[in-house]
Structure 1
Amino acid sequence: MVATADLDEIEEVNANCILMANLQQALILGTQTDKAPVYDSYGSTE
């Protein structure tokens, strides 16, 4: 069984991975207007 603290850690790591992916995508795409959707840590598009 996974402890609550472990779940919090996993959630934080997942959010950090999503943030890094979004930043990388922004750097690659720059100011292009036809960007793919960017997702936040809850899976919603921004």
Structure 2
Amino acid sequence: MVGGNSRNQFRQYTGQNAGNPVGYNDVIENQTIIQLQAEEYDLMAAAAHLDEIEEVNANCVLMDNMQQASTSGTQTDRAPVYDSDGSAE
């Protein structure tokens, strides 16, 4: 089929099937099945993207927690703590 002819060809099939309701119904049923399959594919692709986003978010939280744990207690801007005898801890 050459580009741009799909509508004309569909009309041709529709015209041929006009006298044959069973054939016309088959064409409509096939179109419906194809549309449902396309929608199902789109839904599955969206779910896969959502899974990827959730994984990236979990990795970001994990990395943030690891960084906080690795830098905990290493800040140098704290004032020294002194014992009662005046020595720094």
Q: Structure 1 residue 18 and structure 2 residue 60: aligned?
A: yes
Deviation at 1:33, TM superposition (A): 6.7
Larger relative contact order (Cα-Cα within 8 Å, sequence gap ≥ 6): 1
| AA matched with 2:67 | Q
In structure 1, runs of 5+ residues without a counterpart are: 35-46
TM-score, length basis structure 1: 0.62
TM-score, length basis structure 2: 0.33
Residue in structure 2 matched with residue 28 of structure 1 by the alignment? 70
Q: Could you say what the CA RMSD is over the residues aligned between the two structures, in angstroms? A: 2.3
Greater helix share, structure number: 2
Residue in structure 1 matched with residue 48 of structure 2 by the alignment? 6
Q: In structure 1, what is the Cα distance between the partners aligned to 2:64 and 2:52?
A: 18
| AA matched with 1:4 | A
Deviations 1:9-41 (A, max 9, x none): 00000000000000000000014278xxxxxxx
Quick one: structure 1 residues 19 and 6, their matched pair in 2 at CA, closer, same or farther if it must change by over 3 Å? same
- Report the count of equivalent residues: 33
Q: In structure 2, what is the Cα distance between the partners aligned to 1:20 and 1:11?
A: 14
Identity over aligned residues, as a percent?
Answer: 21
In structure 2, runs of 5+ residues without a counterpart are: 1-43, 78-89
